[in-house]
Structure 1
Amino acid sequence: MAAPTAYSLIATDLDGTLLRSDDTLSDRSLAALAQATEAGAQHLVVTGRPAPRVRPLFDDLGSRGLAVCGQGAQLYDPGADLLLWSVTLDRELAETALGKIEAEVGQVYAAVDQDGVDGLTLIEPGYLMPHPTLPALRVPSRDDLWCEPISKVLLRHPYLSDDELASAARMAVGSLATVTMSGPGTVELQPCGITKATGLALAAEHLGLTPGETIAFGDMPNDIPMFDWAAHGVAMANAHPELKAVADEVTLSNEEDGIAVVLERLFA
């Protein structure tokens, strides 16, 4: 059982939160998570990355727990390499949403994450991957993005900031999709109503745990719904101001083992 002063569920974002900028996990973070697990807590990854981009990290984590992927669109069991639950973004709606956005802000560049445990990340001409270490397949045209079911669309604009693009996209798409901002150069469209909170709630129910037993860590506005759901939300020092504004606590940056600092205090 977890210590009375701690939590039974630790939900962590990956990029900008648990992972360092080189996509690695520090020894201190791994040790802190191991200490919490030994005390009875469960660690749950909650990320915008699709399931195939999460699977290799679980070898480093030494864990076979669950992962909420695709901004809440997928509940993934890495040990079984199985999606326990997934919801896709209608491809016709996605095309319509892109058209509405471009009518407001001019040309954008798009990519998609395909659904499934072997889904690819496809990028159209002109799109630059914000995470160059993550594999992606460049396709000849936008039409090629829609060849298989997708979990989300990723957008970049040649000169608008992420905040400006996200704001314009929300106004343009309305209820066609949920718009999130999950990192530098990463504005995304996902199925309407799907957020990290919906995925986290589903995972917690699967584990028999509740919001009151959950502490969540994040760094971007897409983590706000997760903070609203959890009992305690911890923003990284490098977090977006919108997330810091709603956080219960701000810790050190991902480069300074901010998650470990909090977990060491709670699970000492």
Structure 2
Amino acid sequence: MNSAPKLVVPPKLVVTDMDGTLLGRDGLVSARNAAALRRAQEAGAKVLIATGRPVWWLDPVRQAGFAGTAVCMNGAMVYHVGDGEVLAASPLSAETLNAFTEAFTAEVPGAAIAVERLGTEQIDSWSEAHYDHPWDEGSFEVQARSELLAQPAIKMLVRYGNDSSALAAVAAGLGVPGVSITYSTDAGLIEVMAGGVNKGVTVARLAQEWGIDPADAVAFGDMPNDIEMLQWAGRSYAMEGAHTQALAAATDQAGRHDEDGVAQVLERWF
């Protein structure tokens, strides 16, 4: 657990990850979690979704009635769900995509890559033919590697084997400038964003724009791509069963994601 000062009054900002945190086993926001977020908003708190998902994969929170701001693609895009508007984006340049891919595949020749671009309502995901996405919801159009790397992307996905931490260690050791590496599954997938981009940085920037101090924020997450966000918030909860790195980054532990762990915490205030 981190040693950040603990929030003792109702938060002014509630920020939550989706998969493994807000969503249940059915991939949906439960009625109890949705009601807790709604009460927080009605009480005047800002509610912010912070996910690794692209903007076209936000249906679970839309269906739960959420129409506010979402930090998507691990902080690389800020999107207003209700308005359907991209508020900010931090793309990887084609030059950086090529440099990273060349360096990484020299170390891991069998790796497959995919990219997510600037689409909003329309799916804008592209992959090599041998890329195997670990989640059923993902939908990718096939392109040759040269085409994938020919234009900027918001996020790159790299798949190989079944050990994400090992892939992340390889990527970190390459020394390629202008990239940020994380992962949200242990199934042999890393996620590559522009340098300095992560959920925590983007959430902090939004909070500053809204005049909210980290001491007045509560955050929920479960995987390494949540670490910076959990460390930033004055009070933060890793879900029961979360990755050990997320547990170490958080000030507290919440219940299981499939037992309304987010609502269990928020109901103490709202």
Structure 2 length as normaliser, TM-score? 0.90
Q: Could you tell me how far apart the structure 2 residues matched to 1:65 and 1:240 are?
A: 28
* Native 8 Å contact 2:126 2:143 kept in 1: no
Higher relative contact order (Cα pairs below 8 Å, separated by 6+ residues): 2
Amino acid at match of 2:169: S
Q: Could you tell me how far apart the structure 1 residues matched to 2:41 and 2:81 are?
A: 18
Deviation at 1:84, TM superposition (A): 1.1
Identify the residue that residue 4 of structure 2 maps to in structure 1: none
When structure 1 is superposed on structure 2, of 78-87 and 178-187 the one drifting more is 178-187
Structure 1 residue corresponding to 2:145, chosen from 116, 120, 142: 142
Deviation at 1:50, TM superposition (A): 1.7
Identify the residue that residue 211 of structure 2 maps to in structure 1: 208
Is 2:147 aligned against 1:153? no
Q: Could you tell me how far apart the structure 2 residues matched to 1:9 and 1:87 are?
A: 23
Identify the residue that residue 241 of structure 2 maps to in structure 1: 238
- Greater share of helix: 1
Identify the residue that residue 183 of structure 1 maps to in structure 2: 185
Is 2:173 aligned against 1:171? yes
Relative to structure 1, the CA distance from residue 51 to residue 167 in structure 2 (aligned partners, 3 Å threshold; closer, same or farther) is: same
Mapping of 1:38-117 within 5 angstroms?
38-54=42-58, 56-117=59-120
Task: Give SS of 2:154's match.
Answer: strand
How many aligned residue pairs are there?
262
Q: Could you tell me how far apart the structure 2 residues matched to 1:14 and 1:254 are?
A: 9
* Native 8 Å contact 2:14 2:218 kept in 1: yes
Runs of 4+ with deviation above 4 angstroms? none
Deviation at 1:148, TM superposition (A): 4.4
Q: Unpaired segments of 5 or more residues in structure 2?
A: 1-6
Amino acid at match of 1:8: K
Deviation at 1:58, TM superposition (A): 4.0
When structure 1 is superposed on structure 2, of 123-132 and 111-120 the one drifting more is 111-120
Task: Give SS of 1:11's match.
Answer: strand
Structure 1 residue corresponding to 2:30, chosen from 17, 26, 31: 26
Deviation at 1:45, TM superposition (A): 0.3
C-alpha distance after superposition, 1:57-82 (max 9, x if no partner) = 34323132111111111111122211
* Native 8 Å contact 2:62 2:81 kept in 1: no
When structure 1 is superposed on structure 2, of 187-196 and 62-71 the one drifting more is 62-71
Amino acid at match of 1:161: D
Q: Superposition RMSD on alpha carbons, in Å?
A: 1.9
Amino acid at match of 1:6: P
Q: Could you tell me how far apart the structure 2 residues matched to 1:137 and 1:129 are?
A: 9
C-alpha distance after superposition, 1:180-225 (max 9, x if no partner) = 1122433111000111112102222333322111101001111111
* Native 8 Å contact 1:66 1:203 kept in 2: no
Relative to structure 1, the CA distance from residue 237 to residue 175 in structure 2 (aligned partners, 3 Å threshold; closer, same or farther) is: same
* Native 8 Å contact 2:126 2:140 kept in 1: yes
Question: How many percent of aligned residue pairs carry the same amino acid?
Answer: 35
Identify the residue that residue 14 of structure 2 maps to in structure 1: 10
Q: Could you tell me how far apart the structure 2 residues matched to 1:146 and 1:61 are?
A: 36
